């Protein structure tokens, strides 16, 4: 709307001059970015995102099962690898953060990628993703609390989880 002067939204000039917008207009006759799916978006409520809710719940259960502070490289015999530039083989990952990659960090990235992929496809808004992730986490924590009670009489101190917001809780 800003690009066609039908409205004046506070949009950065770089975005308005993006090659992606020019390509969208050339291919579709509109500056609106196309849907990833030609049939459009699904006919269901958007908030909270189902994929993110499930990802948040599953990630939280995984965080309860593993020591999330363990460096990821400690779990692999050859260290962390990444794709070679040509994509045909793997090479050791030597980024400056290689020693900081943890189990929890990788679990969080996986959950994030699942939810954000739906946003990129044009099916959900970012708020749907963030709320879904937190909803799934809350559901999993509730389930873990119920599960903890099953271990009554055993030497079980409970589950310790680092939540998506970075706080650590004992369940």
Catalytic sites, residue numbers: 44, 51
Other Cβ atoms closer than 10 A to 166: 8
What does the radius of gyration of the chain's CA atoms come to, in whole angstroms? 21
DSSP 170: E
User: Reduced to 3 DSSP states, what percent helix, strand and coil does the chain have, rounded to the nearest 5?
Assistant: 45, 10, 45
| Contact assessment for residue 44 and residue 93, using Cβ atoms and an 8 Å cutoff | no
- What's the farthest any 2 CA atoms get from each other in the chain? 70
């Amino acid at each position: 709307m800003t690009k066609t002067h039908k409205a004046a939204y506070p949009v950065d000039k770089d975005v308005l001059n993006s090659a992606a917008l020019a390509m969208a207009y050339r291919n579709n006759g509109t500056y609106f970015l196309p849907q990833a799916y030609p049939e459009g978006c699904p006919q269901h409520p958007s908030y909270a995102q189902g994929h993110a809710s499930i990802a948040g719940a599953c990630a939280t259960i995984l965080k309860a099962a593993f020591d999330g502070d363990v460096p990821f490289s400690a779990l692999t015999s050859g260290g962390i690898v990444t794709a070679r530039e040509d994509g045909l083989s793997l090479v050791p990952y030597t980024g400056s953060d290689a020693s900081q990659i943890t189990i929890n960090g990788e679990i969080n990235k996986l959950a994030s990628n699942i939810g954000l992929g739906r946003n990129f496809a044009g099916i959900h808004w970012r708020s749907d993703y963030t709320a879904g992730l937190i909803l799934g986490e809350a559901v999993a924590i509730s389930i873990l609390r119920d599960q903890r009670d099953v271990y009554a009489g055993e030497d079980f101190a409970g589950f310790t989880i680092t939540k998506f917001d970075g706080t650590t809780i004992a369940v």
